[in-house]
A and B are shown apart, each in its own frame.
Chain A
């Protein structure tokens, strides 16, 4: 499937790059290749690994329709956990990436993700290119 870069994803990458969450090498060697696996979703075995890919749930623990999270651990100099919320429709839509810090932040980001997915369904969002 095609991989759509939303403005939320681009803005979050600008912020994460600005504060050096991940290195250029990590992006090119790990993050980008992992994201590109979405082109053949769900064929790659990595998608069976819940430490890499899981459904997204809201603050009440309910599944977020069409919502998934790609996960990286021990990223960058700070060895942080990075998350890339991804909506799966006819295309994979990359949404607002973030560093996982605590349960409250997780709930907030999932509330935003839920809203972003609804905006994508309604065609009310900005596309900033596709990964090819």
Chain B
């Protein structure tokens, strides 16, 4: 389902889902990025459909977090060679990343919490919750948005492990 192959009916369907998402409180930034990415990637279209058909708010939150993950992934325009990690180093890396995220979370809570951060960054609350609960390597773009929202310097959000 390449962008040029998306028929007008699907585009309209996606725009209507986007309107529902906006009415539900999701930010303009997220909704426009989600719709735009779904025009080009069938998997994102599948998630948008799942969101519109889902009644359980918790499950909708998971779908939103998945869409946000893919918005970031699809924004990458070229192949990158990342650092190779040995299995035996996984434990120390997760400890490092969790320590960083836990200390950043303290700053977030002092500034009004995840909900407030979602309003300031445009990143959906379920995505931010997933970010702070996971041990995965953070994306620099996400860190920069959080830093800007909290008024933090680049030194304060510096971490050995980011991508």
Q: Which residues of A contact B (CB under 8 A)?
A: 5, 7-8, 10-15, 17-18, 27-28, 32, 58-59, 104-105, 107-108, 110-116, 118-119, 123-129
Contact = CB atoms under 8 A, between A and B. Distances in A.
A26 B90 CA distance: 15
B90 A119 contact: no
Contacts of B81: 126-127
A8 B136 CA distance: 9
A124 B85 contact: no
Contact of A14 (B41, B78, B93): B93
Contacts of A112: 43, 47, 66, 69-70
A125 B136 contact: no
Contacts of B77: 124
Interface residues of B, number: 38
Given A12-B136, A118-B43, A111 B85 contact: no
Interface of B: 41-44, 46-47, 50, 54, 59, 62-63, 66, 69-70, 73-74, 76-85, 87, 90-91, 93-94, 97-98, 134-137, 163
